[in-house]
Structure 1
Amino acid sequence: MKTVEIEHDYAVPAERLWALVTDYDALAVVMAGIVSFDGLPEGRTRTGQSFDLMVSLFGKLPPQPYHMEVVLCDDDAMVLRSSEKGAGVKSWEHCLTVTPTAQGSRLTDRIEIDAGWMTPIFARWAKFLYRARHKPRLRILGLDK
């Protein structure tokens, strides 16, 4: 098991950032070119959602089955917890939090990964993946100027 934690700050109110990071359409946009999803639900995350989808890395690798459960989506506390597995990962426990800051808001992603002997490789992938979401989010929020 390996834990990865990534933080990004945004000059927008926490509620605006929360709305973005809990929207499945926005997820598809920020991951474009890195991960494509087939079967991603519409709308926003909700506690209790459970779904199977296919994921393809960089649009080049064959689609792989992936399962995701939304364990918690608390709009008041701005906390999202998901339990995921598939595409070579035994367990991908993700906790996303949005907190207000003096300059706007902070997004923290904390991921606990178990992929057996490949865990260190998936941990590096997680660091790349969650950092790569930052620039597209800035663009969506109109902060890329």
Structure 2
Amino acid sequence: MKTKTLYRQSVFPCEIDRVYSLLKNLSTLQCIAIPYAAFEPQTKSDDIEWYPGQTITFRFKIFGIIPYGIHTINVIEFSKEGIYTNESNTHVPMWNHRIQLIDNKDGTTTYSDEVEIGAGWKTIFVWMWAKCFYAHRQKKWIRLLER
């Protein structure tokens, strides 16, 4: 399968411990994804914890309103140094996502998203949407952290 990879990096205005703490919460994912995407857990959301070996499924909606199938997140790594997931949904069979956190030792954290996307003939269109989505996510992260 032909894939495309995107990479985006930002410096967040807070310590790595705060970023990592927020990454553990499903509510953070939901907050930073809107309005580009909505993730509604198929299980009770209070029960969701991110840890290696866990698989979580969501009803996924583009722009919060257009159903785009079931999105599955398989957690491979989850630590302060980084997170790696193998994800897929009904229309995008490959969405491998790596988040890396670097403590800048000055009260800031370098945060990066790297995503490998494989969706057959739709790959280029999904990749273009994802570029906008991850730019939006990182801007929302910064606004969240500045509060």
TM range (shorter): 0.7 to 0.9
User: Among residues 50, 56, 66, which one is paired with 2:55 in the alignment?
Assistant: 50
> Do structure 1's residue 71 and structure 2's residue 73 form an aligned pair?
no
> Do structure 1's residue 24 and structure 2's residue 29 form an aligned pair?
no
What secondary structure sits across from 1:25 in the alignment?
A: helix
What secondary structure sits across from 1:118 in the alignment?
A: helix
> Do structure 1's residue 114 and structure 2's residue 118 form an aligned pair?
yes
- Cα distance, 1:45 vs. partner? 1.6
- Cα distance, 1:82 vs. partner? 0.4
Amino acid paired to 2:87: E
What secondary structure sits across from 1:29 in the alignment?
A: helix
Deviation larger for 39-48 or 83-92: 39-48
Check conservation: 2:68, 2:91, Cα contact below 8 A: no
**C-alpha distance in structure 1 between counterparts of 2:22 and 2:98, whole Å:** 16
User: Among residues 35, 38, 50, which one is paired with 1:36 in the alignment?
Assistant: 38
User: Among residues 97, 100, 123, which one is paired with 1:97 in the alignment?
Assistant: 100
How many residues are aligned here? 141
Once the two structures are superposed, residues 104-125 of structure 1 have per-residue CA deviations (whole angstroms, 9 ceiling, x without a partner) of: 1111111111111111111111
**C-alpha distance in structure 2 between counterparts of 1:69 and 1:83, whole Å:** 5
Once the two structures are superposed, residues 30-58 of structure 1 have per-residue CA deviations (whole angstroms, 9 ceiling, x without a partner) of: 11222112216445421111022111111
Amino acid paired to 2:53: G
**C-alpha distance in structure 2 between counterparts of 1:120 and 1:2, whole Å:** 7
1:137 maps to which residue?
141
Once the two structures are superposed, residues 84-128 of structure 1 have per-residue CA deviations (whole angstroms, 9 ceiling, x without a partner) of: 111411111111011012541111111111111111111111111
**C-alpha distance in structure 2 between counterparts of 1:113 and 1:45, whole Å:** 22
Which of structure 1's runs of 4+ aligned residues deviate more than 2 A? 40-44
For structure 1, the 5+ residue unaligned runs are none
For structure 2, the 5+ residue unaligned runs are none
